[in-house]
Amino acid sequence: MRDIGMLGANLHLPEHVQTDASHYLKAAKAERLPGGRMSWEALAGGAMLLATRKAGIERKPADVATYAKDSLDRVCAAARKIRMQTNVEAPPVRDRAVDQVGCCPR
């Protein structure tokens, strides 16, 4: 949980957001999500993204990824994995993300 504390301090987040992120990270650990291509750093960043969104505090995903010391793609993938493969109730990081993808002209 040291990663969560460091992220919270670097992003100037309140204690309750860090606590929520810790719960999300513990749920990810219980589901055995860390390992392989999913690093602890990415999972901590993903958990922090979900916790900030739930608290209504906006932080740029790129900033979270920078402090998590992982790529933006991996941090966002970790947030999706936590939402989809655990029993936590967390809002999506980006509302209607699929709708924002442009359609290719034929």
CATH topology for 2-85?
Cyclin A; domain 1 (1.10.472)
pTM score above 0.95: no
Three-state DSSP class for residue 25: helix
Averaged pLDDT in 10-residue chunks for the chain of 106 residues: 91 95 92 80 94 92 93 91 88 56 42
Alpha helices for the chain (secondary structure H): 2-10, 15-30, 40-55, 61-68, 72-85
Domain boundaries, the chain: 2-85
